[in-house]
């Protein structure tokens, strides 16, 4: 179990998957930006739910339904407190970050008109680009893009120039999944609000590493996924300011999101149920809350400090490898390193590393505009979490050198 002092060897015992072998080698998991691993404390919550009180929620008077409802709503409150939302009903359970973004994009279809402008950044994941392109097609709004620099940072002077009284919405990720850049979202929010525009922040990559305070940021919408935060897949959350959530129409129709239904007229339920049609991922929501508990027990300051040590340690070693180029050298970044080696295709290196038991991500990382900017097909991405070690990085570096030798 966790200790008050950060001890990575004790923490690693919480993650059963770290004991397994891949191709006869001890697993080294450096694909955390895609999906983090799940501690036994969260796995036990999932098993307990399906073993002891699996039931639909909010609809039954029987004991199991009431127990499940209570656990689900307690999880919502945990998430509210973690992100410091003003009200629990400002937390909407979703299937993940992409769902939350699409929910907001759909809602603004009725609020935008031709000639309105919305702004995204050049550092976005496809899930924070495509829904807004679709929104522009539906409404006639114009999509504008904050450009990036060679270092992988947003050019804020260009952002300032893009803003106008026509700007209605700004969308930016808190941390780039492809480069690890931590964006200056407070500046972006303040500037947008100065012209009356709303801001949505994609927190999928930030929430594993830092603890956002949505009231302090004064952000209008914040989205994330549990599977990046030691929780299960298929569940996430959308935070929205109460005034915005009341203004937006429901995303889906069905059970749970209604107050009354007749064939003549339907009235919608209050928040948060207005946006939670159908049977939710009850177990996922409860486990999401357990994952939040787990990471807070370690402490986000301790997590950030340790992960920065890993980032610095790995970066220094990678910089010593001939012909290796790191993409994303922002002054403010998290524990993600994207790189290529000479003309070797990233897929080939990733395949050989897998044979050595090392999991990295290769490709464009659902961020093709970034790859187009650098004129490359993709990168090798190593992403670290608080349960990784410097010893694993040493093995990764030695294995990478072997792979380069084999492919040169």
E strands, 193-289, in order: 198-202, 221-225, 236-240, 258-261, 266-268
Place of tokens 């002077």: 157
CA distances to 224, 289, 381 from 286, rounded to whole Å, are 16, 5, 31
Q: Is residue 83 classed as helix, strand or coil in its secondary structure?
A: helix
Q: How far is CA 296 from CA 78, 160, 268, 276, 314, in A?
A: 11, 36, 35, 27, 26
Per the CB < 8 A criterion, the answer to whether 83 and 300 are in contact is no
Conformational region of residue 194, where left means phi above 0, alpha means psi within -120 to 50, and beta covers everything else: alpha
- 136 labelled catalytic: no
Tokens of 201: 């922040």
Active-site hit among 207, 230, 283, 366: 366
Neighbours of 233 (CB within 10 A): 15
- Running DSSP on this structure, what letter comes out for residue 127? G
Taking phi over 0 as left and psi of -120 to 50 as alpha, with beta for the rest, 314 belongs to: alpha
Distance between CA 215 and CA 235 in Å, rounded? 23
User: 29-56 burial, b if ≥16 CB within 10 A, otherwise e?
Assistant: bbbbbebbbbbebbbebbebbeeebebe
Instruction: Give catalytic residue positions.
Output: 366
């Amino acid at each position: 179990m966790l200790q008050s002092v950060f001890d990575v060897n004790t923490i690693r015992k919480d993650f059963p998957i770290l004991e397994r072998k891949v191709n006869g080698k001890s697993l080294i998991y450096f694909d955390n930006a895609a999906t983090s691993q799940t501690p036994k404390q969260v796995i036990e919550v999932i098993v307990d739910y399906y073993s002891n009180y699996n039931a639909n929620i909010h609809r039954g008077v029987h004991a199991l339904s009431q127990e499940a409802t209570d656990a689900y709503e307690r999880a919502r409150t945990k998430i509210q407190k973690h992100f410091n939302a003003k009200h629990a009903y400002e937390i909407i359970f979703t299937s993940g970050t992409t769902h939350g973004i699409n929910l907001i994009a759909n809602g603004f279809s009725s609020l935008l008109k031709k000639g309105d402008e919305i702004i995204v950044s050049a550092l976005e994941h496809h899930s924070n680009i495509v829904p807004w392109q679709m929104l522009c097609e539906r409404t006639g709004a114009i999509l504008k893009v904050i450009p990036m620099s060679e270092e992988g940072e947003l050019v804020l002077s260009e952002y300032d120039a893009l803003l106008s009284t026509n700007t209605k919405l700004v969308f930016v990720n808190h941390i780039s999944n492809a480069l690890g850049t931590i964006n200056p979202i407070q500046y972006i929010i303040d500037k947008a609000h100065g012209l009356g525009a709303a801001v949505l922040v994609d927190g999928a990559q930030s929430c594993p590493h830092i603890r956002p305070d949505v009231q302090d940021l004064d952000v209008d919408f914040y989205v994330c996924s549990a599977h990046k935060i030691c929780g299960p897949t298929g569940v996430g959350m959308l935070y929205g300011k109460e005034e915005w959530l009341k203004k937006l129409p429901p995303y889906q129709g069905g059970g749970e999101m209604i107050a009354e239904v007749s064939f003549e007229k339907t009235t919608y339920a209050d928040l948060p149920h207005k946006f939670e049609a159908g049977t939710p991922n009850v177990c996922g929501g409860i486990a999401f809350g357990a994952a939040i508990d787990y990471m807070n027990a370690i402490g986000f300051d301790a997590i950030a400090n340790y992960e920065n040590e890993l980032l610095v340690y790995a970066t220094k070693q990678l910089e010593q490898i001939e012909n290796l180029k790191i993409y994303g050298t922002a002054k403010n970044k998290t524990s993600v390193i994207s790189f290529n080696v000479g003309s070797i295709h990233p897929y080939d290196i990733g395949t050989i590393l897998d044979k050595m038991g090392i999991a990295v991500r290769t490709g464009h990382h659902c961020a093709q505009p970034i790859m187009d900017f650098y004129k490359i097909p993709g990168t090798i991405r190593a992403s670290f979490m608080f349960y990784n070690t410097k010893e694993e990085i040493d093995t990764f570096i030695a294995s990478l050198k072997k792979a380069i030798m084999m492919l040169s």
